[in-house]
Structure 1
């Protein structure tokens, strides 16, 4: 039982790490991938703190 738990825990930790690294890379690729359609949206979002109410 103890060996099974350790094996499953190690698999879950490794799988979770891989999942989060892949998700992070996908988010970064989405943010930096050149796209004319999203450029205006990202520029507008970047200027939100500079807008006065």
Structure 2
């Protein structure tokens, strides 16, 4: 039961912090300059006829 308690404490603290930082990083990555043009181009990929 000690392993469960240790993993639970880790998940409650450091894993939550890591997931929060990852989420903030993804949000900032999508809001960077030039992202709109890349997203628009990626959105058109299924509609292209090559």
| Range into which the TM-score falls when normalised by the shorter chain | 0.5 to 0.7
User: Alignment RMSD, CA only?
Assistant: 2.2
TM-score computed with the length of structure 2 as normaliser: 0.60
Q: Report the Cα distance in structure 2 between the residues aligned to 1:21 and 1:46, rounded to whole angstroms.
A: 27
In the superposition, the TM-score normalised over structure 1's length comes to 0.58
1:4-50 deviations in whole A, cap 9, x for unaligned? x42x32431021111011101110121123x13x3322211121122
- Structure 1 outlier segments of 4+, above 3 Å: none
**How many residues in Structure 1 have an aligned counterpart in Structure 2?**
48
Residue 10 of structure 2 is aligned to residue 12 of structure 1:
yes
Which residue of structure 2 lines up, in the alignment, with residue 40 of structure 1?
A: 37
Gaps in structure 2 of 5+ consecutive residues: none
